[in-house]
Structure 1
Amino acid sequence: MTDNAYTSGSDGTGAAGAPPERTPSAIDAVAEGWVTTLADLEPRLAVWIGGMPDSGGYGDLSPAGAEAYADAARRTISALDSLAPTDAVDEVTKADLRDSLALDLEEREAGMHLRDVNVIASPAQDIREVFDLMPTSTVDDWEVVSVRLGNVAGAIDGYIASLREGIRRGIVPAKRQVREVFEQAKKLADSDGFFAGLAANASPETGQLPASLASQLTGRAGEAAVAYQELADFFARELEPAAGEKDAVGRELYAIQSRKFLGATIDLDETYEWGIEELARMVAEQESIAGQIKPGAGVLEAIEFLDRDPSRKLHGTDALRTWMQETSDRAVAELSRSHFDIPEQIRALECMIAPTQEGGIYYTGPSDDFSRPGRMWWSVPEGVEEFDTWRELTTVYHEGIPGHHLQIGQAVYNRALLNTWRRQLAGTSGHAEGWALYAERLMQELGYLDDPADRLGMLDGQRMRAARVVLDIGVHLEKQLPDGSGPWTAEHAFDFMGRNVNMNAGFVRFEVNRYLGWPGQAPSYKVGQRIWEQIRDESKAREGEAFDMKSFHKRALDLGGVGLDTLRRALVG
């Protein structure tokens, strides 16, 4: 790969405005073919991308389904290997798609799909979460919802089959994850749980549903709830007794997961030591700002002072959603005038309260035709009714603009330049979440966090992300604790996290359980930010006085989602 192939015209993109038209290549055809294959293997893809016919089905979650995926991945790698890139766009597509598929095969060879149980992003959650994005405006939309409800049981059966094969082969999740997800499945199985509520509230924008469809929805929602009860029973009777006692996955599996979430290979031991140093820097910065909020105060005293300030309080989820939306709209309007080229199509971001109560905050991208806008979701835990704006201002920037929404929306917008895989499916957590943390710091630089309280809130999140680097690598590699007193354990992890975030015990419990069951994902945020900043600084050093930050951001975002090793090659060679 030549330097010019990557640096001229931001992967082929012209100046501000619509990207230039580009004749699709043979490599684009392979990438589009992979999207079609994925849609056949996993019909839910139609919902995530949007604008595609949705059969209402699920992919085969059994061992046979995993092997079908692996066969298709091998064929696609072979097709890519037979082709030479025609331009910079092709070079990025070939390198990133091939790397992604090869890592998928490595992950399957290690049997990760046979032990896929965690509290936030395993099939136990994925099967249900697709309903959050399904359109429900028309009777036809509800017909598809009904079909998918009727297919929940089959998806659960396939998932159980894979976990049973894992038991047979001795590839099992940790008991802690099984017990936590058992509780989640039980909630979904309740007679007044998610599925019952979905059916009870079914109504198109045009009026009432036909009685036959309403009855069908109710019946199939009941079947879906029963399927989740069967999953819970399987967890209790078969999986939990066979599950492992240790939370740590070990260096070999962790290295695979780290590469999966970063799209880059890092030195895990060096990163652990860097995480310790970065955490210390965050603590020192917080302590400095605390005195600006209340003279002479430490961090905890400053937080208590802010928590008593009624002007920084929101009461109820309606007030939270309204504040999120107003904050997001204001950022879009102001940043589009001065700091970013924001196409009209991605200026709409919907702020939503999620239909679940698990505690997460997340973003879902726009459909490929922008008929569904990008959305920021807040899954508010049961009983939580008060929210502090000083804590959450940076969250809106992280999930919205200039964070995830600008990043992902810009990729979708670039359809004249990027194939569907590049626009909608490519990328890693390290690329996406690293950019979002980078965007938080950028907003500080642009003056949006000049209020010391808002800056303390940003640092609270940044401190948490630094702590996660230390905790996640420490626990799963069973490294020595920072004070040298012994190896990391889950018990140390809960205590360590509690001392490094100003959140309630329920949040800390959920977060640490997430890290224990999803190795390598949590550090990808802060490590991704580190790599983004390194790439920017390398670009600045290379270009000297010609370096322009706005242009750098456009070049980077016009690439779409990529692994961080690909990003570095594309921007600095």
Structure 2
Amino acid sequence: MSSQSITTDSSARQPSLLDATCENFVYDVAEIAPTMATELGLVGHDGELQDFSPDYWDAIADRIRDLIADVDALNDGTDESDDEDDFDEVDHVTAAIIRDRLGLQLEIHHQGEYLRLLNNIESPVQTIRDCFSLMNPDNIDAIESRLSKVPQSLQGYRESLAEAASQGNVAAHRQIDAVVSQCEELADEGSLLEDLGLEHDAAAVAGAKEAFAEMADWLSTELSPLAPHDDAFGRERYAMFSEYYIGHKVDLDEAYEWGLDRLREIVAKQKELTRLLYDDDCPIRVAYRRLNEEPRYLLKGTDELQAWMEKMSKRTIAELDGSQFTIPDEIKVLECRIDPAGSGGIFYTPPADDFSRPGTMWWSVPKGQEVFHTWQELSTVFHEGVPGHHLQLGITLTERDNLNLWRRAVNWNSGHGEGWALYAEQLMDEFGHLQDPGCQMGMLDSQRLRAARVVLDIGVHLGKKVPEGTGIWDASYAKAFLRDNTAMDEVNLSFELDRYLGLAGQAPSYALGQRAWENLRDDALAEGQTLVGFHDRALKLGSMPMDLLRNEVLNS
């Protein structure tokens, strides 16, 4: 299958029946899940909030089934003697992505995983909390309306968790404790809900805060006593999530061994760098400490951090545009903000589909953290910004003439997306933007963390023997292993560990996705493609499992 028609004459392609079907699907799901509409910048839903009840999850699944049935019906009606309603090359790719991605989503629903969904980073409490940061702060009526629906939303969520618990499916204690803390922060004085533009004592604010307090109490008293202490998902559950996040079935035992080999390779490079930096054989962790003490890498306070993020983003966009990538005008601005949630994560939110809201890099600084080190964080700016997620997702959004709304703004495969962002960090070293040895150490620290996550994630959830062979992976060993393999501070490290243990299969998608991107790049160059041409072509196709992307990019 060729992607030639996708990349050469975009104006010649008219939207197909499948494109219209996908667009209708997005608008229907936006009615069911208003927070998704906010993420996409679709108007008319900002005052609404889904309730996360069993009926909500069933409604999403029913609409997915209808879409897959429509795809099959349209495909059955397509043959070579048919008329203009035939699937073209873009449609065939769209249909393959839908069957793969949404088929797996239905399987996850069938297994009851959405009913039990609770973790510290990607479950309903965080969805409710974070959706307000993407809303127009001038639309006070919509903010007030959505806030007023928080109690109903959390009540529906409790119904789902209770139904899952009745079947013996409850998240681990660690995840419940983390979400209880998040709910308590949202209920306490100084809650970020007080900074949305309404008066602190407004009824909607008070009602939402009280609802989060009730949620924390319910989780503590009703759900926590039913929760297991074992964090492991087990091989069968893990394999399902691994395929969903990575985009294809993975030999988990091979991936585990590859992660260990990759770690050894990175550590060897870091040891070489320590000798270059300090002309001695100091341990890597000592080199981290010395780098942290160097004034040239030091930022104090979130104002300095935000200004530095903006400066580096602007510089990178200017330097890469036209030389290494073709950067559309619509995404030459990247907003950099401090996330009020203070969870410890660093993340990116894409522009609205019409670019009325810019792409944004968020730094969620934990309370009390006032010092930041640029040697360690520069690669993160590349990962979240350009040439990472901002370039990747921004280019896809500009492909309005070729990709329907679902493909350009909704569909997301972590192996493709996070793999690209980690690949982008490595690219910046290859492009010569990390000539400073300290920043090279930071990039290798980032690469080392992602390799360690492959080993940790598979090791814990599959109950494998630890590398030393003296015991079985558990949370205690995992924390020590993580501490040994990152320069991350303790607050962020604890958050990240909870994330891996509660979002099984996602963390390895970064390094394994990067491996897939590097293999695809090498094969594309071997058949005569240029690096700039390969990147432009691949990114214009949007997110998809890497096996599908390989079919589109090679031999065309």
What TM-score do the two structures reach when normalised by structure 2?
Answer: 0.95
Distance 1:217 1:96 in 2: 47
Aligned to 1:351: 336
Aligned to 2:8: 14
Distance 1:493 1:374 in 2: 34
Aligned to 2:279: 295
SS of 2:441's equivalent in the other structure is: helix
**2:268 is aligned with 1:284:** yes
1:168-210 deviation line (CA, Å, top 9, x unaligned)? 1111111111112111111111132121233xxx2xxxxxxxx
Aligned to 2:120: 119
**2:48 is aligned with 1:57:** yes
Distance 1:396 1:470 in 2: 25
Aligned to 2:164: 166
Aligned to 1:105: 106
Aligned to 2:230: 246
How far does residue 299 in structure 1 lie from its aligned partner after superposition? 1.5
Distance 1:569 1:425 in 2: 22
Distance 2:248 2:471 in 1: 30
Any conservation in 1 of the 2:53–2:156 contact (CA below 8 Å)?
A: yes
Amino acid at match of 1:103: L
Aligned to 1:435: 420
Any conservation in 1 of the 2:232–2:461 contact (CA below 8 Å)?
A: yes
How far does residue 502 in structure 1 lie from its aligned partner after superposition? 1.5
1:279-316 deviation line (CA, Å, top 9, x unaligned)? 11111111111111110133223222211111111111
Aligned to 1:86: 87
Aligned to 1:195: 193
Any conservation in 2 of the 1:278–1:466 contact (CA below 8 Å)?
A: yes
Distance 1:216 1:488 in 2: 46
Amino acid at match of 1:293: L
Distance 1:294 1:55 in 2: 54
Pick from 521, 526, 533 the counterpart of residue 551 of structure 1. 533
Q: Structure 1 residues 564, 60: CA separation in 2 closer, same or farther (over 3 Å shift)?
A: farther
Matching of residues 491-530 of structure 1 within 5 Å = 491-530=476-515
Distance 2:446 2:97 in 1: 30
Any conservation in 2 of the 1:14–1:20 contact (CA below 8 Å)?
A: no
SS of 1:115's equivalent in the other structure is: coil
**2:224 is aligned with 1:226:** no
SS of 2:74's equivalent in the other structure is: coil
Aligned to 1:24: 15
How far does residue 114 in structure 1 lie from its aligned partner after superposition? 2.1
**2:535 is aligned with 1:535:** no
Any conservation in 2 of the 1:13–1:20 contact (CA below 8 Å)?
A: no
**Cα root mean square deviation, aligned:** 1.5
How far does residue 430 in structure 1 lie from its aligned partner after superposition? 1.3
How far does residue 55 in structure 1 lie from its aligned partner after superposition? 4.4
Pick from 389, 392, 397 the counterpart of residue 412 of structure 1. 397
Aligned to 2:542: 560
Distance 1:560 1:241 in 2: 44
Percent of residue pairs identical: 45
Q: Structure 1 residues 41, 434: CA separation in 2 closer, same or farther (over 3 Å shift)?
A: same
How far does residue 405 in structure 1 lie from its aligned partner after superposition? 0.3
SS of 1:332's equivalent in the other structure is: helix
Distance 1:197 1:190 in 2: 13
Q: Structure 1 residues 21, 224: CA separation in 2 closer, same or farther (over 3 Å shift)?
A: farther
Distance 1:320 1:21 in 2: 45
Amino acid at match of 1:25: S
How far does residue 21 in structure 1 lie from its aligned partner after superposition? 4.8
Amino acid at match of 2:481: F
Where do 5+ consecutive residues of structure 2 fail to align?
76-85
Matching of residues 128-527 of structure 1 within 5 Å = 128-136=129-137, 138=138, 141-198=139-196, 202=197, 214=198, 218-296=202-280, 297-527=282-512
Any conservation in 1 of the 2:46–2:143 contact (CA below 8 Å)?
A: no
Amino acid at match of 1:135: N
How far does residue 29 in structure 1 lie from its aligned partner after superposition? 1.6
1:248-285 deviation line (CA, Å, top 9, x unaligned)? 01111111111111222211111111011111111111
Distance 2:334 2:483 in 1: 33
Aligned to 1:209: none
Amino acid at match of 2:345: G
Distance 2:263 2:538 in 1: 27
SS of 2:336's equivalent in the other structure is: strand
How far does residue 497 in structure 1 lie from its aligned partner after superposition? 0.6
Where do 5+ consecutive residues of structure 1 fail to align?
203-213
Amino acid at match of 1:455: Q
Distance 2:283 2:88 in 1: 55
1:352-374 deviation line (CA, Å, top 9, x unaligned)? 11112111000000011111110
How far does residue 82 in structure 1 lie from its aligned partner after superposition? 1.6
SS of 2:356's equivalent in the other structure is: coil
Amino acid at match of 2:213: Q
Aligned to 1:205: none
SS of 1:76's equivalent in the other structure is: helix
1:77-130 deviation line (CA, Å, top 9, x unaligned)? 111112236222112111111211111110011111122111111111111100
Any conservation in 2 of the 1:21–1:417 contact (CA below 8 Å)?
A: no
Distance 2:487 2:299 in 1: 18
Distance 1:331 1:540 in 2: 24
SS of 1:438's equivalent in the other structure is: helix
Any conservation in 2 of the 1:313–1:386 contact (CA below 8 Å)?
A: yes
Aligned to 1:76: 67
Distance 1:89 1:448 in 2: 36
